[in-house]
Amino acid sequence: METLVRELKEHLIRELNLEDITPEDIDSKAPLFGDEGLGLDSIDALEIILILEKNYGIKLQNSAEAKPVFYSVETLAEYIAKNRR
Amino acid sequence: MCYIEAVATHLNLTHDIKEVVPDATLRRRMSRIVKMATAAAFECTGGVQGIAALDAIVTATGLGCLTDSERFLEQIHRTGGQMLNPTPFIQSTFNTVGAQIALLAKNRCYNMTYVHRSRSFESALTDAMLQLKEGDARRVLAGAFDENTPTQHHIMERMGFWRKAEDGEGAVFTLLTAEATANSMARVSRVEFLSSPLSEQQCRERYATCSDGQVWRSLDKTVYPCRSALRFAEAVEEVRKGVPEIVVYNEYFGKEPTVIVLQCL
């Protein structure tokens, strides 16, 4: 899981072009969206959907399940670990 | 007729963009040309408060934000139109720069972008002058930007463009006012679009109003669609130094000639 979390952080930094941020700077339990944590927005959510599809073969079928999955890096990693192809 | 209060030229990214765009989310999605153009607009207006005070923002580009356009097209080609990242699409649109400038100060004024190849800057200038003339605006920011990329350079090289010229890029912005102010540097008296090229002598006969003015033919070696904006900025500087009048004649590879006449105050 630790390797997956780090890999996911690296994907986020690269795909979202997060300036001056290293994987160590990202708190795995902190919220990805909103004013706390990384402060991502709806466009970033679309980019994350593409990260899941391109790198882990995961297609989110139900938008209702996205909210808890997209809460933090840790929740994303748990979802990927269970659903990756 | 309108008055030029400021001009800013950025030929590469030298400004501290964090000072211009403090919002990291806005900044991380901006390509090099968007950063360059936004920095030029920021400098020209004197900062966020200057942008907030604008009545109109009119931008021009010949080819738009090429880096993001290429990324978007490359993704379409690679994925067959599936799983396209939203950011390059959003940022590749021609009006990205005008929108980013407005967003800096949340200015909801008239915001227009002209994409008329090498006549784009003159089109923006014409719109800005009409806004001022008709009293719809008192302070207008007009500018032009174009970037080059390795792909664009390669394509144009295969078309033989670089046998006599080299490519360039940059962003030029100018702050225009309806009335002369204490900060006015020069005035724009005419902008014209021609249907056929003119010689220097023809330009002088048709547009010069004083014998000691100059005619600049923008046919030098560095070319890109909005190159005339750079010549405009250089001419404003010369007029400010004392040249009474400069007729800036622009041709892009022998086509689409335009004329801008600048006069001292």
Q: Convert the pLDDT of each residue in A49-63 to its tens digit.
A: 999 999 999 988 787
Q: So where are chain A's domains?
A: 2-83
Measured distance CA(B201)–CA(B264) in Å, rounded: 22
Strand partners, B140: B56, B176
Spatial CA neighbour of B130 closest among B150, B117, B112: B112
Phi-psi region of B40 (alpha: psi -120 to 50; beta: other; left: phi over 0): alpha
Interface-testing mutation among A44, A49, A55, with chain B (most B C-beta atoms within 10 A): A44
pLDDT digits (tens, 9 = 90+) for B135-168: 999 999 999 999 999 999 999 899 988 888 888 8
Contacts of B64 by beta carbon, 8 Å cutoff, 6+ apart: B92, B93, B94, B96, B115
Interface-testing mutation among A50, A52, A58, with chain B (most B C-beta atoms within 10 A): A50
CATH 1.10.1200.10 fits domain A2-83: yes
- Examine the pLDDT at A43 and tell me if it is beyond 70: yes
Contact state of B85 with A41 under an 8 Å Cβ cutoff: no
Measured distance CA(B196)–CA(B41) in Å, rounded: 33
Strand partners, B248: B216, B260
CA distance B92 to chain A (A): 15
Question: Strand order of the sheet with strand B170-177?
Answer: B110-114, B56-60, B139-146, B170-177, B2-10, B186-193, B255-263, B245-252, B214-218
pLDDT digits (tens, 9 = 90+) for B239-256: 999 999 999 999 887 778
Q: What are the chain A neighbours of B27 within 8 Å (beta carbons)?
A: 19
Average pLDDT over residues A17-24: 90
Q: Is the Cβ of B86 closer than 8 Å to some Cβ of chain A?
A: yes
ipTM above 0.85, yes or no: no
Looking at chain B, the whole-number percentage of residues with pLDDT higher than 90 is 77
Measured distance CA(A66)–CA(B230) in Å, rounded: 49
Token couple for B124: 């923006």
Give the per-residue pLDDT at B74: 93
Contact state of B29 with A43 under an 8 Å Cβ cutoff: yes
Give the per-residue pLDDT at B220: 64
Where do the domains of chain B lie, and which CATH numbers do they carry? 2-177 (3.40.47.10), 186-263 (no CATH)
Measured distance CA(B48)–CA(B205) in Å, rounded: 43
Give the per-residue pLDDT at B218: 67
Provide the angle, in degrees to the nearest 10, between the axes of the packed helices A73-83 and A42-56.
30
Residues 35-74 of A with CB under 8 A from B: 39-41, 43, 46-47, 50, 53-54
Please tell me what DSSP assigns to residue B10: E
Residue of A18, A40, A47 lying closest to B86 (CB–CB) = A47
- Which amino acid does the sequence have at B138? R
Contacts of B92 by beta carbon, 8 Å cutoff, 6+ apart: B64, B65, B68, B69, B71, B72
A76 against A67, higher pLDDT: A76
Contact state of A43 with B24 under an 8 Å Cβ cutoff: no
Q: Is the Cβ of A7 closer than 8 Å to some Cβ of chain B?
A: no
Q: Which residues of B92-122 are buried (b: 16+ CB within 10 A; e: fewer)?
A: bbbbbbbbbbbebbebebbbbbbbbebbbbb
Distance linking the first and last C-alpha atoms of chain B? 12
Measured distance CA(B64)–CA(B91) in Å, rounded: 10
Q: What are the chain B neighbours of A47 within 8 Å (beta carbons)?
A: 85-87
